[in-house]
C-alpha cells in the first residue's frame, strides 16, 4: 500500500459488532475508516464526503437496501472507489449479478480469514491508487495535447507569415537588383553622352560633373527606401559629390 496517499474506508454493516471488528482491522493497518449501519446512510456519506472514499466494504444482507444494490448506486456516485462485498455462500446469485454489472471489485466470504482479509484490503487500496494515478496522467496528457495542438497551430501560422515575408523580401531584392543593373547600363550611356558633349564643346567639364551628380542623386533617392527596408546600408553621401572626400570618377 502506497504511503503517499491518505485512504479512508467506508464500512457498511447493520451489525455494529461486525462494524467494530472491521474498524479494528483498519486501525491495525493504519487506515482511517467511517462506519454506517445501512445503505441509505452510506449513500449520504458518499455524496457529502469532501473527497472520495478509497474503499467501500459492505455487507450483503442488510434491511432496507442490500449490499449489491448499495454498491451499484455507489458506483454511480463515486466510480473510482473500490467496492468489496461481504457475503455468505447462500448469496451466490446476488454476487453474480453484482459482478456482471461491475458493481463490485471483489467479494469476501463470511467468516473471513483475518490475514487474507488484510491482504485483500491492501490490494484494494493499491488498486485505488492506480486508478487515481491513471486519471491524473490522462488529464495531464489531455492538457499537454491541447497545449501541443495550440503550439503547433501557432508555429504553422508563424511559418506561413515568415514565408510570406521572405517571398516579399526576395521580390524587393530582385526589383532592387534589376534597378541596379539598369543603373549600370545608364551610367555607361551617360559616359557616352559625356564624351559626345565634350567632343562638340557643348558643355564644360564642371557642367558635366554637375549633371553626373544630379543623375546619381536621382538613383540614390530611388534606392534609399528599398535598401532601408531590406537591411542594406546606403552611403551617407552621393559618390562624386564635390562635398565628399571621394574624388569624381572623371
Looking at the domain that runs over 8-145, which CATH code has it been given? Answer: 3.40.50.2300
Backbone phi and psi for residue 243, each to the nearest 5 degrees, phi listed first? -80, -15
pLDDT in tens, 161-202: 778 777 877 777 777 667 666 655 555 555 666 666 666 565
pLDDT in tens, 225-245: 666 666 666 555 555 554 444
Q: How far is the first Cα of the chain from the last one, in angstroms, to the nearest whole number? A: 96
Report DSSP state, residue 239.
T
Tens digits of pLDDT across the chain (250 residues): 444 688 999 999 999 999 999 999 999 999 999 999 999 999 999 999 989 999 999 999 899 999 989 999 999 999 999 999 998 766 677 777 777 777 788 888 888 899 999 999 999 999 999 998 888 888 888 888 888 888 888 888 887 777 877 787 777 777 766 766 665 555 555 566 666 666 656 556 666 667 667 666 666 666 666 666 666 665 555 555 544 444 444 4
DSSP 64-133: SS-HHHHHHHHHHH-TTSEEEEEE-GGGHHHHHHHHHTT--SEEEESSPPHHHHHHHHHHHHHHHHHHHH
**Contact between residue 37 and residue 16 where contact means Cβ atoms under 8 Å apart:** yes
pLDDT of residue 197: 61
CA distances (Å), 148 to each of 42, 120, 141, 152, in order? 43, 41, 10, 6
* Grid coordinates given for 152: 503547433
Where residue 104 falls (left for φ over 0; alpha for ψ -120 to 50; beta otherwise) is: beta
Handedness of CA 58, 59, 62, 68 (dihedral sign): positive
pTM: 0.58
Distance CA 147, CA 142 (A): 9
* Grid coordinates given for 193: 553622352
Amino acid at each position: 500500500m502506497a504511503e503517499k496517499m491518505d485512504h479512508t474506508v467506508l464500512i457498511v454493516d447493520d451489525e455494529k459488532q461486525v462494524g467494530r471488528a472491521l474498524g479494528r482491522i483498519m486501525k491495525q493497518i493504519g487506515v482511517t475508516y467511517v462506519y454506517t449501519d445501512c445503505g441509505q446512510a452510506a449513500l449520504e456519506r458518499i455524496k457529502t464526503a469532501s473527497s472520495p472514499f478509497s474503499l467501500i466494504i459492505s455487507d450483503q444482507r442488510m434491511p432496507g437496501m442490500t449490499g449489491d444494490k448499495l454498491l451499484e448506486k455507489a458506483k454511480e456516485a463515486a466510480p473510482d472507489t473500490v467496492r468489496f462485498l461481504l457475503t455468505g455462500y447462500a448469496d451466490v446469485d446476488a454476487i453474480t449479478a453484482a459482478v456482471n454489472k461491475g458493481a463490485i471489485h471483489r467479494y469476501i466470504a463470511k467468516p473471513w480469514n483475518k490475514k487474507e482479509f488484510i491482504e485483500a484490503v491492501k490490494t484494494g487500496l493499491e488498486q485505488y491508487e492506480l486508478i487515481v494515478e491513471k486519471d491524473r496522467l490522462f488529464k495531464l496528457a489531455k492538457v499537454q495535447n491541447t497545449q501541443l495542438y495550440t503550439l503547433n497551430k501557432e508555429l504553422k501560422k508563424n511559418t506561413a507569415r515568415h514565408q510570406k515575408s521572405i517571398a516579399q523580401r526576395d521580390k524587393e531584392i530582385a526589383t532592387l537588383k534589376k534597378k541596379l543593373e539598369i543603373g549600370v547600363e545608364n551610367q555607361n550611356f551617360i559616359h557616352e553622352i559625356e564624351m559626345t558633349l565634350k567632343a562638340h564643346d557643348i558643355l564644360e567639364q564642371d557642367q558635366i560633373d554637375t549633371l553626373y551628380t544630379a543623375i546619381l542623386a536621382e538613383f540614390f533617392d530611388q534606392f534609399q527606401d528599398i535598401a532601408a527596408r531590406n537591411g542594406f546600408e546606403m552611403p551617407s553621401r552621393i559618390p562624386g559629390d564635390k562635398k565628399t572626400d571621394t574624388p569624381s570618377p572623371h
